[in-house]
Structure 1
């Protein structure tokens, strides 16, 4: 029963420490949000225009081949714009929107694609949002460094008492997290964000984008037993 006590015994004193690691690494992927809009005097013309613009955007993104790792269509909407006519209201026009998300691994292609998309009529581009993959080696490296720090810290405590570590009792992973989580687009207020919208047909030069470094952290709690010190 004594061995289950968290504070150890005189024959097997315990030391509890926390190991932490923080890495700054280059991102592996970048995501952009694309909003395609259309307007028509009737529902059918708005839908036809939206379909045409959406197809143009999809074809442009797909033309970058393997540089685009993922392309997904999100929300779609078509809504009437009402105007007051006497005491009644009538439909003045219809507005349609399609939201897409593209994920790229080639950041040189990203700059060119972003400007080409923004140069399309009634097309808005948001982003980029930089991120690491969930299985990025950076996460494993951060965890290794956190464990190394925990062992080193415990060893220093033991050495301060003139003794050494005897055994590892417990290692608890508090988790490693990425500053920009992989998955859904981050909130607009967080991180670096740019928005582009174009109405003209002039060709714009490709953007020179500087990838935002990602912060990866890891924390572990560790408990060790020590050889009895001579106090």
Structure 2
């Protein structure tokens, strides 16, 4: 009986030793980045109209009439309905000022109405003229101008290809420096899903007519992480 138990223990020990002796798979993990600079072909403007009046109805009416005029002008300049969207419509009271010595309660002295519209301009040559036109027709709030691409997918795919090539070059460099042979790809992960960002500095230029605009360039970026086996 003792002999059988001893044999079983020795057999298990041999199995455990075999498991411990299994070689750990050797890998190289690298990150790659792909960048592409491209000129924008679209601009998104956030603009609005704000009016004050003693009566809420008058403030809202003045704002609505001005926005209607702006939208009519934009349509006449070729801006499609799908490129126009109301972002925010608000009506708020205006309160009287009060001081520490003033015992009277604050009261409503008037109302302010605002209407914010997002406009996509797909013809950048007309951008300056669009800005001048909307200001002339009553837009008195300007909340930003953002450049973009109408179809960023092809450039994003190219940035991803560059990111993979960059990662592969890094892996080959590391393998060569370490004196090992690079094996097959074990995994590829994209980080962030790609992004489009404006350049830090954009050269100013004057459009064909109207306000000066800075078109500059956009940077399309893709990032990947790749794992390679080390060949035996």
TM-score, normalising length from structure 2? Answer: 0.72
Distance 2:34 2:109 in 1: 59
What are the within-5 Å matches in structure 2 for residues 126-137 of structure 1? Answer: 126-132=143-149, 135-137=152-154
Pick the structure with more helix per residue. Answer: 2
- Counterpart Cα distance in 1 of 2:103 and 2:174: 84
Describe the shift of the 1:93–1:152 C-alpha distance in structure 2 as closer, same or farther (beyond 3 A). same
Distance, in Å, in 2 between the alignment partners of 1:225 and 1:83 is 73
Pairwise CA distance, 1:72: 0.6
**Correspondence 1:32 to 2:73:** no
- In the alignment, which residue of structure 2 is the partner of 1:42? 55
When structure 1 is superposed on structure 2, of 145-154 and 83-92 the one drifting more is 83-92
**Structure-1 residue corresponding to 2:227:** 223
Give the direction of change, closer, same or farther, for the CA distance of 1:179–1:68 in structure 2 (3 Å limit): farther
Structure 1 unaligned spans of 5+: 181-189, 193-204
* Aligned: 1:123 with 2:140: yes
Q: State whether structure 2 residue 170 is matched by structure 1 residue 153.
A: yes
Closer, same or farther in 2 for the Cα pair 1:87/1:216, shift >3 Å? Answer: same
> In 1, Cα distance between the equivalents of 2:137 and 2:167?
54
Q: Which residue of 1 aligns with 2:118?
A: 101
Match of residue 35 from structure 2? 22
1:177 and 2:195 aligned = yes
Matched positions, count: 200
State the Cα deviation string for residues 157-207 of structure 1 (Å, max 9, x = none).
Answer: 334456643311111111322226xxxxxxxxx998xxxxxxxxxxxx602
The corresponding residue for 1:186 is none
Shift of the alpha carbon at 1:92? 3.4
Q: In the alignment, is the contact (CA less than 8 A) between 1:68 and 1:104 conserved in 2?
A: no
TM-score normalised by L of structure 1:
0.72
Contact residue 107 and residue 209 of structure 1 kept, 8 A: no
Alignment-derived partner of residue 217 in structure 2 = 213
What residue is the counterpart of 2:109 in the other structure? Answer: 92
Q: Is the 8 A contact 2:64 2:115 kept in 1?
A: no
Give yes or no for contact 1:7–1:14 (8 Å, CA) kept in 2: no
- Structure 2 CA distance, aligned partners of 1:130 and 1:34? 15
Q: Contact 1:112–1:207 (CA<8 Å) still a contact in 2? A: yes
- Cα deviations by residue, 1:18-61 (Å, 9 ceiling, x for unpaired): 21222222223211111112233322222222221111011112
After superposition, the Cα gap between the structure-2 partners of 1:94 and 1:166, relative to the gap in structure 1 and judged at 3 Å, is closer
CA RMSD of aligned residues (A): 3.2
Question: Could you say what secondary structure the match of 1:179 adopts?
Answer: strand
Q: Provide the secondary structure at the position in 2 that maps to 1:27.
A: coil
User: In structure 2, what is the equivalent of residue 62 of structure 1?
Assistant: 75
